[in-house]
Every structure is written in C-alpha cells, then in structure tokens.
Chain A
Amino acid sequence: MREIEFDEVVKAVRDIIVHCGTDLPQDTYDALKEAMENEKSLVSKEVIRQILENADIAKDEKRPLCQDTGLAVFFVKVGDEVRIKGGLLRDAINKGTEQGYKDAYLRASTCEPFSRANLKDTVGYNLPAIIHFDIVAGDKIDIEYAAKGGGSENVSRARVFPPAAGKEGIIEYVKEVISDAGGNPCPPITVGVGIGGTFEKACISSKHALFRDIGSVNEDPEMAEMEGNILEEINKLGIGAMGMGGTKTALAVHIESNPCHIASLPVSVNVQCHSSRHTHITI
C-alpha cells in the first residue's frame, strides 16, 4: 500500500488551481487562434482577438483570466493501493482549493442557494469543491480539474428522451439548447454531451466530456462522427463570438456515451465558455 502525505495532495491541488486561474491551456488557446483565423465576421474576429490578448495579459501578469473564476470541479480516480496519510482525500482537495483560490486572488463564488450568502466565512473560500470520485486499480491518484463558470453552466440542460428519438433527436436537442443560449455562455464554447446511462449519469458524463482536450479525437468512431455533425450544425446557427454574429460558435463538441435502460435515452448538454480552464495531474 502506497502512502501519500495529506499535504502533498493539498499542494498539488493548490498549484493547479493557481495555474489554471491565469494560464489558458494550450489546447484552448490554439483552438481560439484557429477560430480567429477562420472567422468570417469581423466583429467576432475582433472579439476573439481580445480573448487571446486577454490570455496573454493574464499569463504574463498573473491576473485571473476572467472575474468568474468558477466553482472548482474535480474528477478524481483513486488507486485501490493508495492511502492518504494524515487526513481524508476530500479534505485535502478542499484545503488545496481554498489555498489556491486565495493565493491567486481568485473570486470566491460559492453561496447558499436562497439567502445567496457567500460561504467564504462559514464553509471556506470558494468551498466546497465539487468532487466526483472513482476507484481504480493501482497506487496513484489521478486528478482532473476545471474551473466552471456560472454563465455557461446556466444554459446547460438535460432531458430523458424515448429511445425512438435516436441520434437525430439528440442532434436537434443540442442545437436547440445552444440556439436558445445565444451569446450568454460566452462563445466560442465547448459543448459536452452526455448520452445514455441514467439521468444523473448523463449529466456527469456531459460535465466530464468538457475536461477532454479540445482537438482530441473521440476513441469511438461513431461518436467522433456524431461530434463532427453536431459541431457543424452549431456553427450554422450564426451566433458567433459573444453572440455578436459569426461562423465560430463552438470550438468543439465532446460526447461521452454510456449503456442505458431499454426504455430510456437520457441526454445532457453541459456548456463550457471560451475560457476553458482545465488540467490533469497524477500523484
């Protein structure tokens, strides 16, 4: 059994949060650059130019990319031959989150649902983090992290279709969600689509799909083809960067598909803004 010090996890989590707050990942930066070059609308082209300039300033001067520094979302795979020495893994991730958000001058955006009171004085600075655990074989801990902003989360939707809806029904649904969202989720966006499983499995899959690098290819050729089809349809909507009209509304569509009940076809659409701050570490 391998032992990992509690504080080692805290520091690793703190470091990725600080890094992601100010440094746009290379996959996102490259995708935006390509979008700017291919965008037909001059207004949208200028918006993407500002987004890239913003990324350069944020990186050089260590300023948060966006004032919405998100809720901290983690997908954690814990090896069955590893244990944390000196505390619980969940507590270590939360502690690292709080330290990272404080150290990098990121905004605490968590609040109580109805009083809207900010939880930083009670629960902790931008706590609790949203953590999805899984147990796998091995003696390592694999941590995927993304900062998830509110504007793009607010347009996300899920629905359980009858099986007859099929691929066409899903494509129409994703189009409808993105069309209704317009410029609100800060396009050019990444669209995560969770298909199958149960209601909540589809939702979690659509979230996890956003953690994949933009430009990566789906291992399932059928899903890869469907991703391409949906992306094409979305970019026909004309929404453009920040909704100002244009040809690049989405940078990518990522699908995660799961087996589902014979009676159901669950679908979830989770959207990430152009500031797709995500990373991945193994301890």
Chain B
Amino acid sequence: MANYTLTTPLTSEDTRQLKAGDTVLLNGTIYTARDAAHKRLVELLEKGEELPFDIEGSVIYFVGPTPPKPGDPIGSAGPTTSYRMDSYSPTMLQYGSKGMIGKGKRNQVVKDACKEYDGIYFGATGGAGALLGKKITSAEVIAYPELGPEAVRKITVKDFPVTVINDTYGNDLYQMGREQYEVKD
C-alpha cells in the first residue's frame, strides 16, 4: 500500500496508478453532492445540458455538512453513506468525473464503471466530521441552495485524507480487508 498526494482535477494517469488500500491526500477543488443533487445533475447530463461545474476530472464528495460557525467556511463535513448514489455515479463517471468520496460499499455497476472510465471510489473516515471539515479551506454554494445541506458546493481542500476503496482494476478494499481478517470456524 502506497501513499500519494494528488491535486484535482484528476487525470486517467493519476487514477490508474492507484490501488485499493492506498492512501491519498487530496488537494484542490472538489464538489459536494448527495442524492437530491445527483438526481438533478444526472438529469442535466442526460438532457445534454451544462452542469454547474466542469465535470472533466472532477472529484465529487458525498457530504451534507453542518452549518458553519461564524468565521468558518464550512461546519463538520464527513462522508455520508455512498450506496444512495449508486444509481447516479456511473453516469457521472461516463461524462468525465474521475473520483468520488464517501463511505460504505458500492454496487457492481459502480465498480464496473470505475474500471471502464478510470474512476476511483475513495473512502473518508465516517464520523470524523470535525477533522475533515478543517481540511476544507473554502466553500461556496454553486447550485441548488434550496437543498440546504444537500446543495452543491465548490470546496477547496488541503491534504484531505482518503483511502482508495475501489480502483480502476476492479479491486475492492472492503472485500480484500474483510477476507484478510475474517475468522472462519
């Protein structure tokens, strides 16, 4: 398992070097979206319309932050459970997105899409919202403000710690890790 530091937008060259279990410190601009926002983004893509951000090489963070305290760019901001985005993520990858940050397992369709479109599913530590929120240096709502915590935000991250769960080769850290430590009677 290797450690990397990467800056967004990500390229296929960036993502193909990563293997399940590697740790990455992410830097640069990423975008936040949960189920409600994904539904709208994918509808735009399918209609051939512009997204509120450049999807090429983008990394999408599945998060609904707490309200910021006065003077802070964002509140606590850890990942939400990713399977709720399973029906949307393959389309996002197909149109050029290269990374997703969340927690919890993905379905086979998403894993296959990671292989096909050089996408990476990163896991961040769920429940570490205070720690992860501090790695976000700026945040701005760029679409769907009416969704509140689920609005699309453009955020800047500095050394945001993630682990590669699903790589571009079909590997899955959740399966690998579990197989290694499972005790069979």
Contact = CB atoms under 8 A, between A and B. Distances in A.
Interface in B67-91: 67-69, 75-78, 80-81, 83
Of A22, A69, A186, most B-chain CB atoms within 10 Å: A186
Contacts of A63: 69, 75-76, 129-130, 133-134
Given A64-B75, A118-B148, A238 B128 contact: no
Given A50-B161, A151-B104, A238-B180, A245 B174 contact: yes
Nearest to B178: A238
B66 A107 contact: yes
A51 B177 CA distance: 19
B127 A275 contact: yes
Of B134, B176, B182, most A-chain CB atoms within 10 Å: B182
A25 to B, nearest CB: 14
A43 B67 contact: no
Contacts of B105: 182-184, 243
A280 interface: no
A41 to B, nearest CB: 6
Contact of A243 (B104, B128, B130, B133): B104
A58 B130 CA distance: 6
Contacts of B38: none
B63 A67 contact: yes
Contacts of B184: 236
Interface in B96-118: 103-105
Interface in B9-67: 21, 23, 36, 63-67
B131 A238 contact: no
B119 interface: no
B183 A43 contact: no
A238 B125 contact: no
Contacts of B104: 151, 182-184, 243
Contacts of B161: 50
Contacts of A186: 103, 126-127
Nearest to B182: A238
Contacts of A44: 177
B163 interface: yes
A65 B129 contact: yes
Contacts of B75: 63-64, 67, 105, 107
Interface residues of B, number: 48
A244 interface: yes
A243 B180 contact: no
B65 to A, nearest CB: 5
Contact of B76 (A66, A150, A182): A66
B157 interface: no
B126 A242 contact: yes
B177 A246 contact: yes
Contacts of A182: 104-105, 174, 178
Given A54-B130, A244-B123, A105 B178 contact: no
Interface string A117-135: 0100000000000000000
Nearest to A275: B127
A51 B127 contact: yes
A183 B174 contact: yes
A253 B149 CA distance: 33
A273 interface: yes
Given A68-B80, A105-B66, A239 B178 contact: yes
Interface string A42-54: 0110110011011
Contacts of A67: 63-66, 75-78, 80, 129, 133, 149
Interface of A: 22, 40-41, 43-44, 46-47, 50-51, 53-54, 57-58, 61-69, 105-108, 116, 118, 150-151, 154, 182-184, 186, 236-240, 242-247, 273-275
Given A66-B78, A67-B64, A69-B66, 5 more contacts: A43-B163, A54-B128, A64-B66, A107-B65, A273-B126
29 contacts: A22-B130, A43-B177, A54-B125, A61-B130, A63-B75, A63-B130, A65-B130, A66-B78, A66-B130, A67-B64, A67-B78, A67-B129, A67-B133, A105-B67, A105-B69, A107-B64, A183-B104, A183-B105, A184-B81, A184-B83, A184-B104, A186-B103, A238-B183, A243-B104, A243-B123, A243-B174, A243-B178, A245-B173, A246-B177
8 pairs of A and B residues whose beta carbons are closest in the complex: A245-B177, A238-B182, A238-B181, A236-B183, A54-B128, A184-B104, A58-B130, A54-B131
